[in-house]
Amino acid sequence: MCFFAANPFSPGARIIFRLQPRPAQEDDVALLKAIAARNEAALAQLYDRYRAILFGLLMRILNNREEAEDVLQEVFLQVWRKAADFDENRGRPFTWLVTLTRSRGIDRLRTLAARERVAETSAREVSEETSDAATDAFKSEQRGLVTKALSQLPDEQKRPLMLAYFDGLTQSEIAARLGAPLGTVKTRMRTGLISLRELLAGQGESFGF
């Protein structure tokens, strides 16, 4: 086939194309590869993209702005040093970042051994300083989907999940906190996470980071 025989400007072939935002995940993979190659601008871009959501997560875990900012700094310096360890075949960049951030946050929480102490720090700090990013359509949509899925879980399944994820409690600690048998907590936690996965999967292509 000759090039000119398939004239791209023939009326039938003309397709108006507007530059669409590239899928966030693909962009993130490219950024992590650039960071692995020691590209400072790529790290800045990744930070700007996820700072609000990751800092929000750390604030939820630590309830202390100074500690949360310190951990956020540690997280991104670890990203700088360890970006080459990210394997796109083993998971999404978002999962990698969140898992790293939460792990650091929970470690700090346990190190401080001050759950009660920092819990007194006003929860207003979180709600009053909500980022502009909260209005970002993409993040809002994802948040809405997860919140909706969680609302469909029975409270007895949801509470162990939230206590584990945001408070860093182990199953034994959760059992003690809720006054429930350990075996029951294990079952409810497992069932809750399975249900959450099924509910999110039910969102089809509209869900994904």
Partner 1 sequence: MVHEDYKEMIPARALSALDAAEERVLNEHLDNCSECRKELEEWQSTAAALAVVADPVEPSPEVRERILGEVRKDLSGSNVVPLRSTSRNVWSSFGSLGAIAAVVLFVALLVGLFVLWQQNRAYREELASKNDFIQLVNTPGARVSELKGIDLGAGATAKLAHDAAGHAILMASKLPKVPAGKAYQLWFIAPNKPPVPGKTFVPDSTGNAVLKDEMAGAALDAKVFAITVEPASGVSAPTGPIYLRSLEVN
Q: What angle do CA 48, 51, 57 make, to 5 degrees?
A: 165
CB of 39 to partner 1, least distance (A): 5
The tokens describing 160, both together, are: 């162990």
**CB of 108 or CB of 168, closer to partner 1:** 168
**CB of 69 or CB of 156, closer to partner 1:** 69
**Pair 161, 196: CB distance under 8 Å:** yes
**CB of 65 or CB of 114, closer to partner 1:** 65
**CB of 70 or CB of 114, closer to partner 1:** 70
Q: Maximum CA pair distance of the chain?
A: 77
Q: What angle do CA 82, 84, 86 make, to 5 degrees?
A: 85
CB of 199 to partner 1, least distance (A): 10
Cα(108)–Cα(88) distance, rounded to whole angstroms? Answer: 27
CB of 41 to partner 1, least distance (A): 7
CB of 114 to partner 1, least distance (A): 18
Cα(27)–Cα(55) distance, rounded to whole angstroms? Answer: 21
CB of 177 to partner 1, least distance (A): 12
Q: 73 Cβ partners below 8 Å, 6+ apart?
A: none
